[in-house]
Structure 1
Amino acid sequence: MGKKVTINDVTLRDGMHAIRHQYSKEQIAELTREIDDSGADIIEATHGDGLGGSSIQYGFSKESEEDIIRTAVDNAKNAKVGVLLLPGIGVIEHLEKAYSYGAQVARVATHCTEADVSEQHIGKAAQLGMDTVGFLMMSHRTTPENLLEEAKKMESYGAGTIYVVDSAGALTMDDTRQRVSLFKENLSSGTEIGFHGHNNLSLGVANSIVAIEEGANRIDASLAGMGAGAGNTATEQLVAVMNRMDISHNLDLYKTMDAAENLMKPMMERPVQIDRLSLTLGYTGVYSSFLLFAERAGKEYGVDARDILTRISEMGAVGGQEDWIVGVAQELAKEKQNA
């Protein structure tokens, strides 16, 4: 079916959220070797919130940014190593350093209606000769038509690939189809289209396949779905479905299965699965990385974490506003006390 699909593996970036950014250098090296050997095209390796994300607000990573990137670069024989940058968390200097450490792919991520903040970062990545990607997070939060306008901005800044990003795992298949098909019809023929899914509504693989059917040829996935919320599209599941559908790609099914089962699952601190909290994320459309923060605050203040997520959704919180969670938990605890 169409062009060969490029798999961008996010086990070492989105997967950081699920392990509180605590991968060790040894784990990064081992995972990179296995992912590379399984045939992934790009391996993304940074703090879960991207370059510059290691901080009090987002949580400190176990290893330095330089060590994370260099370890991935040193252990990837065939795959390119990529980094994520959210303007405001990461700055151009972080991007230049990542490039000097050997990163070849730069994904610049903004909220779905704020592409204009990415102009300098996308321009710099393109100037450095990196494979430059625009990454429109929380794509369910705006209409397909508005999303296209934001995508056009990123394209004009120099991004060669633009992603529909389902950060909350809230898109249905029709939602995905509408967004990707509009990109395909209206972006330049040379611009590639990507899709990044989360599995909060159990639609990670289904949405990725719909995206491919509509013309996306870069798809994000992670071993055993390792990622924020209910996790990302699981590589081994996606590969099995792509094989059944004769979709062309570079991955080896048995190797991805074995890496997920033997290496990734034993490293998980908390099973990456659809439980009541991760399902609530998809249902209410809340950023997937809010899960562990809401779980902790719920326990600390004696309130239901689902109520925290629902209130956060009503407030319209976006990625980077995790600090709202404690305030919401305190508010709910007070309301409970006064009831």
Structure 2
Amino acid sequence: MKSNITERVKILDCTLRDGGYYTNWDFDKELVEEYCKAMEELPIEYVEVGYRSIPLKGYLGEYFYCPDYVMKALKEAMPTKKLVIILDEKNIRPEHLEDLLSPCLPYITMVRMAIDPKNFKRAIILAKAVKAMGFEVAFNVMYMSSWKEDDSFLDLLKGLDNTIDYFYMVDSFGGVMPKDVKEIIALVKSKTNVPLGFHGHNNLEMALINTLTAIEEGCIMVDGTITGMGRGAGNLRTELLLTYLNSKNTLKIKFTLLSGVVASFENLKKHYNWGTNLPYMFSGAFSLPQKQVMEWVGMNRYPIGNILNALNNQKESVEDNIKLPVLQREKSFKSALILGGGKSANNHSLAIKKLAEGNEEICIIHAGARNVSTYLEVTNKQFYALAGFESEKLLNTIGDVSKLEQTCVYPPFPRNMGTIIPDAIKEMSVELEAINFTKASIDSPLALGFQIALDLGVKNVFLAGFDGYDTTIDQTQFVLAQENQNILNDALQIKDLEVVAITPTKYKKVNTISIYSII
């Protein structure tokens, strides 16, 4: 590594933008203040502070939209830094730019554009309009590991030297190796004289060596994030790059400031748990999408084996590996008890059993396996709605599979995760034909439970064990609570279906009566 690296390489930190994939682009004010103080004092030239975007569906936080007061405060906190925002090209058109970028002019130096190579021609039109507004422009072109398969988009770079200030190669899947970095940089250099940048993901823990290789091959700007916080497996750790360069006597670092902000983000990491793991490694090795892996891992619904099975199905272009008999749709029961995993299904089990016993018109549907063992001896017909971890939970809960004489029900074929069914329960397993009352989820145990009830001709649903969550919940619980609420909202709209909770619940809009009032 040459000693004049700081003269020819610029470091861009994009923690607030890339890290937002874990926090929904909301960060505590105190954390941002500490981050800005560190950035201002560290040898980092560019700081990417978030997205600017047209309104999109769903909640996306402060640093996804970066209102003008946010940009103003960030610039005041980092007056010597060149601030950057990024546009997601797939959502932005030239007619949006006046409203999106005019407020940025006092604060933002560079606008980066996240680009799918297939949309490169369209991105050029957008880039020219951004450049005309007076910003530096950088292309962040995704899916670097697939460029060698089709590099035709690079021919469009001709004549853009005065439009694009930086051309970034983004290892979206975290799967390239140093040899690939060298080859791709050589390829890009043969097409353009635009200065090059590199953004590495860390699925295979190659972000540092790939970044150093990119620098050696002539990239003049590279990215990092504090603690590697970023989408999926995350990015090159900014502190690792700075420490390495310091060890080579190329940078002077205020390690007190650096260690403080790193410690604060490490505390955040304990909550969100970013970084690589086996599914991210697999997706990186085979250039598979990270977005889906991040959702699967983040939901904490699927075991690692299921996620790897799903990724392997994608690699082999297989929709699913098991087709099951379909649960027959017939009017079999008048009422269904749908039991969730909340404590109330166990605490009030004697009363719930009293409601069911001796009434063959009531079936029991377990939306999850947590309370199954409590109801094993009940003679009513029982169904187990199984997705994700639930098959394994069921076996662990029961222990002796010979006690199981009921029906295991899986989501419709093909299942996104593929299917792993323990041999012990294959003979008693079926799948739903479809889930057609809701679009909130196709593999939620609650969604499966309601669809089972509908397919069996049920007219009355009693809910127990859907306690809901307190206000102090983690991100996974928050997502699951939202999902359950959306499913319940849709179920409550079903014509001729009466839904009532018979144990306490924090879910909204659900009518509640006491189990003790009806036994």
Inter-partner Cα distance in structure 2 for 1:37 and 1:16: 23
Instruction: For 2:36, give the aligned amino acid.
Output: T
Whether 2:8 is the aligned partner of 1:7: answer no
Q: Which has the higher contact order (CA 8 A, sep 6+)?
A: 1
State the match for 2:75 in structure 1: 73
Contact kept in structure 1, 2:110 and 2:136, CA below 8 Å = yes
State the match for 2:239 in structure 1: 236
TM-score normalised to structure 2 length: 0.55
Find 1:192's aligned residue among 175, 192, 195.
195
RMSD over aligned Cα atoms:
3.4
CA change 1:62–1:79 in 2 (3 A) is closer
Equivalent position SS for 2:151: helix
State the match for 2:169 in structure 1: 164
Inter-partner Cα distance in structure 1 for 2:304 and 2:149: 39
Q: Which has the larger radius of gyration?
A: 2
CA change 1:223–1:231 in 2 (3 A) is same
Unaligned runs of 5+ in 2: 318-410, 422-428, 432-519
Q: Number of aligned pairs?
A: 322
Whether 2:226 is the aligned partner of 1:223: answer yes
1:139 Cα deviation from its structure 2 partner: 0.9
Equivalent position SS for 1:180: helix
Contact kept in structure 2, 1:236 and 1:257, CA below 8 Å = yes
State the match for 1:107 in structure 2: 112
Contact kept in structure 2, 1:44 and 1:83, CA below 8 Å = yes
Equivalent position SS for 1:299: coil
1:86 Cα deviation from its structure 2 partner: 1.6
Whether 2:43 is the aligned partner of 1:42: answer no
**Greater helix share, structure number:** 1
1:127 Cα deviation from its structure 2 partner: 0.9
Equivalent position SS for 1:274: coil
Deviations 1:272-293 (A, max 9, x none): 3222232233123234444431
State the match for 1:265 in structure 2: 266
CA change 1:116–1:206 in 2 (3 A) is same
Contact kept in structure 2, 1:230 and 1:275, CA below 8 Å = yes
CA change 1:333–1:138 in 2 (3 A) is closer
Contact kept in structure 2, 1:165 and 1:195, CA below 8 Å = yes
Deviations 1:243-293 (A, max 9, x none): 3445x56x6262564144322212222233222232233123234444431
Instruction: For 1:228, give the aligned amino acid.
Output: R
Percent identity (aligned): 18
1:114 Cα deviation from its structure 2 partner: 2.8
Equivalent position SS for 1:104: strand
Whether 2:34 is the aligned partner of 1:33: answer no
1:327 Cα deviation from its structure 2 partner: 10
Whether 2:186 is the aligned partner of 1:202: answer no
Find 1:21's aligned residue among 25, 28, 35.
25
Choose 274-283 or 252-261, whichever is displaced more: 252-261
CA change 1:285–1:260 in 2 (3 A) is farther
Equivalent position SS for 1:121: helix
Equivalent position SS for 1:107: strand
Contact kept in structure 2, 1:95 and 1:125, CA below 8 Å = no
1:22 Cα deviation from its structure 2 partner: 2.4
Choose 139-148 or 210-219, whichever is displaced more: 139-148
Instruction: For 1:233, give the aligned amino acid.
Output: L
